[in-house]
Amino acid sequence: MFTNDSKSPDCMKVWSAFEQAYVSRDPCQVPMEDYDQLLSTAQPQPTCNSMMFWSGTMEVVHQVSQGCYQTLEDSLLGFLLNGQTWCGKEGSRDTYTSGCPDCDNNPVKSFWRRASAEVRRPQDI
């Protein structure tokens, strides 16, 4: 799943791209496209060229995906961010993990929409 080779992402670049998407921003104005840099820095890499997309069926898909299928939560970003809450505030360089608003374009919802779109897109062969 995660390896320590030349294809592994640079953690500082990943963190920087992650913060770039939401830090110092209105937490309700973070469109999913703001995670493009993060997803290109730490792109989900399927182990057997097979990613499995799910929506609302997590437990079933994780049982079925054992072996050569991988879900988004099995990727580096999915593993790290699954179940987490984060946001920024205008004018602040801090990351907040509580008190984040539940609005349509908040950082968490926008990340998962963008990451899901990355998994669903046809991969180059």
- Closest residue by Cα to residue 87 from 105, 102, 104, 100: 100
List, for residues 87-122, the tens digit of each pLDDT value. 999 999 999 999 999 999 999 999 999 988 887 655
Q: How far apart are CA 56 and CA 14, in angstroms?
A: 28
| Closest to 27 (Cα-Cα) out of 121, 100, 112, 114 | 100
Q: Which residues contact 14 (CB under 8 A, 6 or more apart)?
A: 38, 41, 42, 76, 77
pLDDT for 10-68, tens place per residue? 899 999 999 999 999 999 999 999 999 999 998 766 556 555 554 555 565 556 556 66
Q: What is the pTM of this model?
A: 0.76
